[in-house]
Structure 1
Amino acid sequence: MNLRPIKTDNDYQQALQEIESLFDAELNTPSGEKLEILATLVEVYEQEHYPIELPTPIEAILYHLESRHQGVSLFIEGLKRRGVSDEIINEALTDLVKII
């Protein structure tokens, strides 16, 4: 196993190619262990060079609604059934309107 840290974008691309070739490797085999190590190295490199910011609460709600093809009105009805106050719902709707 010839593994080394990922320091450049070229190293990163090579690691991704190697991961692709090992993707179906069985666990607890030399190939499977190499896949695990490469995946960890790639994850660390991506966290440092391509960080993903967490969405705002409103962005997360919008994603949830869009991914389930659910309208805002159904979401609001669900909030009301759970006892969320109208004041909080109105604040959330104001924020949603700003984003949309």
Structure 2
Amino acid sequence: MRQKLRNPLSLADLLSTAMKPGLSDPKTILLDLQSQWAEIVTPFLERKSKPIKIYGQCLVIEVASSAWAQEMEMMKTEILKKIKSLLVYANITGLRFKVN
């Protein structure tokens, strides 16, 4: 027989518990992005790019050349989708590419 919960938690309470303090910190998000970058953009593109800063909701990505900046600009939507799927707590809505 199934037992009833005495004090069931609301979805908002569960989410706030899951969203531990610090996860919304830009430094934490940047470290998480850097550690999962190969999975986000493929190992090949990882060698040509790296996330370096977060300004507000924009992720700044350093790329090897202007050609790679242009290539990744065309992949912007896919990259943002992958970031949102892997790092739900990272509120990244834009990407900016900086040539090294």
What TM-score, normalized to structure 2? 0.30
| Structure with greater contact order relative to length (CA < 8 Å, sep ≥ 6) | 2
Query: Which structure has greater strand proportion?
Result: 2
Q: Which has the higher helix share?
A: 1
Q: Tell me the TM-score normalized by structure 1.
A: 0.30
